[in-house]
Structure 1
Amino acid sequence: MSASAKTSLPSTSMSNTNIDAAGFTKLGKQLPLLADILAQAVQELGLTLSQTQQRTLLLYLDQLLLWNKAYNLTAITDPVEALIKHVIDCLAIIPYLPQGSLLDIGTGAGLPAVIIAICQPERSCTALDSNQKKIRFIKQISSELGLSNVQPIAARIEAHETTYEVVTSRAFASLTDFVEVAQPRLANGGRLYAMKGKTPTNDELQVLEEKWQIKTIILDVPRLHDSRHLIELSAKND
């Protein structure tokens, strides 16, 4: 486990989380610890998730690690580190997202689209990526977990025509590139959300400030010691 995702045993107040081990393949004996870390993070983030939803998040993590070698889904193989850096990292943005249909561009293994769909079953989530293997994984896991609100699409964003109230991305290196490809898919009054480690450069922000209202949100991701930011953009002419 890397230094940026160090973990300790959860407090005893959260140590009674009971997760049925049936259906888990990769998490094994670490399941009770992972369940406690997740439950504590959910509490710290102020989210209201049922035990069934938390179990579903852990099942997603289990399948992510199980199919990782075949589908090349993540470079992180340690379950605790993957829980923190993938699942909990994505959970941290949920309190800031407005209602409405969601498109996740460059979703990879479904991060954050599948995580959001598990937590907000009333929201329609489209997971878009040009990588066929990763979309195949999302289709499989969505079926296994009963996620009827996930629509996996294997395509480049330029070939996708539907518009959405919320457009997210966790994969784009450049904020300006994300805005360029996401803007045509944004419904009137909608908002873009870019998950970033470090804050964008002043040069990037200056390029966008003429047309976009930009808000930088500092995220406090439980147990993650790396910096995390969520960049919210809304068009000034809406």
Structure 2
Amino acid sequence: MTTVSPRQAEELAAGIRALGLACTAEQQERLLAYLALLVKWNKAYNLTAVRDPDEMVSRHLLDSLSIAPHVAAGGDTWLDVGSGGGMPGVPLAILFPERRFTLLDGNGKKTRFLTQVKLELGLGNLEVVQSRVEAFRPSQPFAGIVSRAFSALADFANWTRHLGDAATRWLAMKGVQPDDELQALPADFHVEHCHLLDVPGCQGQRHLLILRRTS
């Protein structure tokens, strides 16, 4: 299997310290094992446009972990919509073993990769679902729904409305603050908070928008 370098391990550890996160040595090893799987499978499955493993530490692992305080403040059941290669769902599932994460994607190659990640890393708190988001019908609403570079805010809200309720928090990870997208937000959604994220090693702006349904 592809292995990670000491440099990548050091960058991850430094980034976790900079983010102020509590992450055990075992969790960091799992994060690096996930990175190794991502690098290996990306060659055939085109999971991410980022090819350099060094870049993946900041742009995928640390970027995913940057929203951890907002997940910690939420409930126990989380949905990662359009999970793709597993960001942010896999790193968050590693960091929060006491919470349950459902990773949803309509692409069979990507869900096969995610299933392999679940098996190889022993992530019992992670469920992989292959489905279009509009067709997904879980038995209960999720406490939190997160997307990373998935769609415009209006589409994110409209496509996932049926997956949450008044208590659900929608977390949309974006680059620059999407003012045009905010203007098109459906009437029954509002922005509760907009946070500027400081991701170690990442160039450019990163924002987290927290949406709620208007009761």
TM over 0.5: yes
* Aligned position for 2:174: 196
* Aligned position for 1:63: 37
Distance apart, 1:209 and its partner CA: 7.2
Alpha-carbon distance in 1 for matches of 2:186, 2:130 = 32
* Aligned position for 1:165: 143
Change (3 A) 1:81 1:236: same
* Aligned position for 1:227: 205
Q: Cα deviation per residue 1:108-167 (whole Å; 9 max; x = unaligned)?
A: 011111111000001110000000000000101110000011100111011111220100
Q: Does 1:117 align with 2:93?
A: yes
Instruction: Give the alignment's Cα RMSD to 1 decimal.
Output: 1.3
* 3-state SS of paired residue (1:133): helix
Q: Is the 8 A contact 2:165 2:213 kept in 1?
A: no
Alpha-carbon distance in 1 for matches of 2:9, 2:165 = 37
Q: Is the 8 A contact 1:165 1:188 kept in 2?
A: no
Partner AA of 2:118 in structure 1:
S
Unaligned runs of 5+ in 2: none
Distance apart, 1:173 and its partner CA: 3.2
Q: Does 1:208 align with 2:185?
A: yes
Spell out the pairing of 1:99-178 with structure 2 (5 A cutoff): 99-162=75-138, 163-178=141-156
Distance apart, 1:77 and its partner CA: 1.5
Spell out the pairing of 1:40-51 with structure 2 (5 A cutoff): 40-51=14-25
Q: Percent identity?
A: 41
Q: Does 1:181 align with 2:159?
A: yes
Alpha-carbon distance in 2 for matches of 1:160, 1:209 = 20
Distance apart, 1:25 and its partner CA: 1.9
The alignment's TM-score, normalised by the length of structure 2, stands at 0.93
Alpha-carbon distance in 2 for matches of 1:53, 1:59 = 10
Structure whose alpha-carbon radius of gyration is higher? 1
- Ranges of 4+ aligned residues in structure 1 off by more than 6 Å: none
Distance apart, 1:26 and its partner CA: 3.8
The alignment's TM-score, normalised by the length of structure 1, stands at 0.84
- How many residues align? The count is 210
